[in-house]
Amino acid sequence: MRDLALRQEFADRGVFFPTTAVLAYDGESASAEDKARAAAFKRDYNLALDHFSHLRIALDAQPGLVTSPNAGTLLAAVSVIDPEVVRVIFTPMRAAEIMGGEAQKGSWIDQVAYFPMVESTGQVATYGDYSANGNVDANDQWNFRQPYHWQSFKRYGEQQLERWGAAGLNYSAELDMSLALTFNKFSNKTYFYGVNGLVNYGLLNDPSLPATVSPATKANVTDGVRWTYATALEIFNDFKKLYKQLVTQMGGNVEMDDAMTAVLSTTMQPALLTTNDYGLNVEDMLKKAFPNLTIKAAPEYSTGSGELMQLILNNVDGKKVAYPAYTEKQRAHALVTEASAWSQKNSAGSWGTILRYPIAIAGMLGI
């Protein structure tokens, strides 16, 4: 730029030109000095449009778009779908696991299940050649349970299946998984609580269960008798108290090396990691004292009345003490075809928990 004054003016405003640059100037400035400078510029230089002064070029505004402003690419074209489906996690279902598995009793047409119990009786008398004293007998008792049957439908449309398929998902298979989960969750609930209004009880509320005992007094009474601030020895002593209760209930028909299951809530299970002065935690101490003890945890043992713990003797006289029972795990009924959709009813039934020996379960509430 040959006009040093104009170049300096641009430089003051942060604009710099090479010394050979040519500036096109329209001479329409407001000041007389700028007009004189424009006239001198036109005198010294000729531009392509100087001979066509009647032509005007609009350079002061960008012409507007006819289309909407965008990034220039469809978002779907630059998107990816992860083929691995992330599923929602639900609370664990551990009733059957706690009791060593479930069993089918009867079928979906049965309305009552009877469970016989026989008690042997008898007495002896002093022997005499002509004495007819002394006799034995047997007494039977029939306990019964009522089943509860439920149902649920799965429905899906032709277009709905194809839309999910276009996204890489199998809607029909997802409905099957939802159905199985829903049925298993409800079965698990009946195994713990039974069904209200029926002779159908669970492991936690069977009316034949003996009364629970309370934990022992703790040295730190900030949270009462709970395990919140209990030492490892205090927690172990509560287990020992519960075992003594089980021995009392069983009339001595239990040994420390018998197969037993201790069940508490998932909230209280970490308390078993409490260590003593010798680095041993409660679980180590328990397994040394009760070599065949299994420890399980389930959320249902956090009750409205407090934290519950049960000590269950697994078998008595070769028979399982308790087991969950069902009539049908999942019965699939006829598939109904509609104009462009399908539906299918599924049903199941539960007897709740069959408790053969209530005295073989000891409970402690308030740990």
296 in Cβ contact with 97 (< 8 Å): yes
Report helix, strand or coil for 287. Answer: helix
H or E element, residue 364: strand 361-365
- Cβ neighbours around 229 below 10 Å, total: 14
Q: Using 50, 70 and 90 to split pLDDT, how confident is the model at 13?
A: confident
In the three-class reduction of DSSP (H, G, I as helix; E, B as strand; rest coil), residue 170 is classed as coil
Residue 218: is its pLDDT beyond 60? yes
- Residues 20-29 have pLDDT tens digits of 665 555 445 4
pLDDT recorded at residue 27: 47
Please report where in the chains the tokens 């079928």 appear, as a residue: 107
The domain spans of the chain are 1-66, 95-120+140-365
| Predicted TM-score of the model (pTM) | 0.79
CATH T-level assignment (fold) for domain 95-120+140-365: hypothetical protein PF0899 fold (3.30.2320)
What is the per-residue pLDDT across 174-198, written as a single tens digit (0 to 9) for each? 999 999 999 999 999 999 999 999 9
The model's pLDDT over 321-340, given as tens digits with 9 standing for 90+, comes to 999 999 999 999 999 999 99
Average pLDDT in the chain: 89
* CA 61 – CA 74 distance, rounded (Å): 29
Q: How does pLDDT run across 65-85, given as a tens digit for each residue?
A: 787 777 677 878 888 888 888
Cβ–Cβ < 8 Å for 200, 148:
yes
State pLDDT tens for residues 137-178.
Answer: 999 999 999 999 999 999 999 999 999 999 999 999 999 999
Contact between 112 and 341 under an 8 Å Cβ cutoff? The reply is no
Distance in angstroms (rounded) separating the CA atoms of residues 354 and 103: 10
> What local confidence, expressed as pLDDT, does residue 51 receive?
54
Cα torsion angle, 101, 107, 108, 113, sign: negative
pLDDT band per the 50, 70, 90 thresholds, residue 45? low
pLDDT at 33: 75
